[in-house]
Amino acid sequence: MENLGLFFALLGAALSALVAGAGSAVGVGRAGQAAAGLVTDDPSQFSRALILQLLPGTQGIYGLLIAFITLTQIGIMGGSSDISLAKGLLYLAACLPMAIVGYVSASYQSKCSVASIGLIAKRPDQFGRAMIFPAMVETYAILALLVSILSIFGIANVNI
Amino acid sequence: MSENYIYAVARVRCKELTLLDSSVMDSLLAAGSYEECVRILADHGWSSEGENSSPEAMLASEREKTWDFIGELTKDMSIFDVFLYANDYHNLKAAIKESFVHTEHPGVYIDKSQCTVDPEVIKKAIVEKEYDLLPEDMRQIAQETTDVLLHTGDGQLCDILIDRAALIKIYESGKKTGNDILKLYGELTVASADIKTAIRANKTGKDIKFLERALAPCDSLDIKALAAAANDDEDAIYSYLDRTVYADAIPEIKKSPSAFERWCDNRIIRSIRPQIHNPESIGPLAAFILARENEIKSVRIILSGKLNHLSDESVRERVREMYV
């Protein structure tokens, strides 16, 4: 029971990588199907379709980043791993924005990517604009990433 | 309906680029001859496979391309059977009449690639009276119509019974798919057929019993009220339609049967047009099939107009709105 703090902190790191990563996997998979459909009939669109497919993949990377920072802070990657229960719960809470927003934004971003792939199928010259629509969803994943990073670094200075 | 259509819709988006738009239709209408039309169509990828270069062969080839393409996109083609049932029942009608007059007219059958039941199976079932060979919902009407024709020799009654059965099948299977586009297709097909029947029956002085036998039920029309109106006079039909969603069709019905048919086709095209922006359901696939059928119908009108030297104006007023 004395390592419960460490358990919760590790749970936060795991959730961040797992949930955001799952969202990205779903999103990249969904956009990949549309990209494959486009490239079947128009192979010249491969690079454009690939970029749109990869956009929902960033949430998984952000989740991994948060997990990595958390593991570093709680001493799993070296150093002291003496974490109080309260601090462990704080780390868990700090990881949740990235986990939840990462999943939801990746899922919705992929829907935008699929629609944008449909757009470039008809108007390849509109690729720049087509990319902006799914990229807008990225804003919220970045905001969640910032909140999680600031919280994790802030917890280190909290004396509980 | 659990199938994922993201890949299919992306392919449909690419194929939509090859659909003929109104500017191509204008070029076809402006073409000086049938040969020039064929050249324009060839520039847009239209061609007939094999040596037969007749207009019908070209149109059949285009239809086949559509169905081959859709076949590549979905494992379960049965959802699109709603578009093919009319052909099955046409073949049933042909088989029953052929059997009644004891002569063969192979040209009257629609090819099995455009049907859900092989025409040979239908022929065999009718000739040998083995109705069990037919799909369940076709058996009863096949038997009933064969008996009616044998006892009365009334070909028109035979047509009415089979047409009604076909409409009911289209309406029900459209509803069963759960897809809005296919439901709408079923509904509009039945409603437009009912309106046409009511107008024709009124003009030829048919009684209410005939109308009750001929009209197929649908959601947007009260067929009892329509039959009563058709039994009264033409104005009563217009007055009834004015209270329905088909009020816009009244001027077209008054103009001519072909103007009303055009109105019906245009209405379907307008209803399916939002599918151009739908990224992931079966809707864009169904819309693509309907758009291609609409395109083929318009090209057929233009080509036959050119072959028969009809005036541009009379051809233009029959050409449908395009999907793209």
Chain A neighbours among B 259-298 (CB < 8 Å)?
277, 279-280
Tokens of B142: 């096949």
Q: What is the residue whose two structure tokens read 């065999």?
A: B124
Residues 6 or more apart in contact with residue A54 via CB below 8 angstroms:
A28
Residues 6 or more apart in contact with residue B107 via CB below 8 angstroms:
none
pLDDT score of B2 more than 70: no
Coil, helix or strand for B298?
A: helix
Chain A residues with a Cβ under 8 Å from any Cβ in chain B: 30, 33-38, 40-42, 111, 114-115, 117-118, 121-122
Say whether A111 and B279 touch across the interface (CB within 8 A).
Answer: yes
> What is the share, in percent, of chain B residues with pLDDT greater than 90?
59
Say whether B13 and A115 touch across the interface (CB within 8 A).
Answer: no
The model's pLDDT over B265-284, given as tens digits with 9 standing for 90+, comes to 999 999 999 999 988 889 99
Say whether A114 and B280 touch across the interface (CB within 8 A).
Answer: yes
Amino acid identity, position B57? A
The model's pLDDT over A21-78, given as tens digits with 9 standing for 90+, comes to 999 999 999 999 999 999 999 999 999 999 999 999 999 999 999 999 999 999 888 8
Residue B176 near chain A (CB below 8 Å)? no
* Cβ-based contacts of B16 with chain A (< 8 Å): 122
Mean pLDDT of B233-239: 92
Number of neighbouring beta carbons within 10 Å of residue B213:
13
Residue B247 near chain A (CB below 8 Å)? no
Mean pLDDT of chain B: 90
Residues B121, B133 contacting (CB under 8 angstroms)? yes
- The full set of domain ranges for chain A reads 4-156
* Cβ-based contacts of B277 with chain A (< 8 Å): 115
DSSP letters for A15-31 = HHHHHHHHHHHHHHHHH
Say whether B9 and A36 touch across the interface (CB within 8 A).
Answer: no
Mean pLDDT of chain A: 94
Q: Return the pLDDT at B50.
A: 63
The model's pLDDT over A58-69, given as tens digits with 9 standing for 90+, comes to 999 999 999 999
* Cβ-based contacts of A118 with chain B (< 8 Å): 9-10, 13, 279
The C-alpha of A39 sits at a distance from chain B's nearest C-alpha, in angstroms, of 8
Say whether A115 and B11 touch across the interface (CB within 8 A).
Answer: no
* Cβ-based contacts of A117 with chain B (< 8 Å): 10, 13
DSSP letters for B227-292 = HHHHHH-HHHHHHHHTTSTTGGGHHHHHH-HHHHHHHHHHHHHHHHGGGGG--SSSHHHHHHHHHH
Interface test with B, best of A28, A30, A33, A113 (most B CBs within 10 A): A33
Residues B185, B290 contacting (CB under 8 angstroms)? yes
Q: Return the pLDDT at B1.
A: 43
Map A90-125 to HEC letters.
HHHHHHHHHHHHHHHHHHHHHHHHHHHHHHHHHCHH
* Nearest chain B alpha carbon to A116: B279
Of the candidates A110, A46, A50, A45, the residue with the CA atom closest to the CA atom of residue B6: A110
DSSP letters for B21-38 = -HHHHHHHHH-SSHHHHH
* Nearest chain B alpha carbon to A32: B7
Report which DSSP code applies to B217. Answer: P
What is the interface size between A and B, counted as CB pairs within 8 Å? Answer: 54
Residues A98, A63 contacting (CB under 8 angstroms)? yes
Chain A neighbours among B 48-67 (CB < 8 Å)?
none
Instruction: Give the CATH number of domain A4-156; options: 1.20.120.610, 3.40.50.1700, 3.30.420.40, 3.40.640.10.
Output: 1.20.120.610
Query: Whole-angstrom Cα distance, residue B91 to residue B205?
Result: 29
Residue B311 near chain A (CB below 8 Å)? no
The model's pLDDT over B103-151, given as tens digits with 9 standing for 90+, comes to 887 788 988 888 999 999 999 999 898 999 999 989 999 999 999 888 8
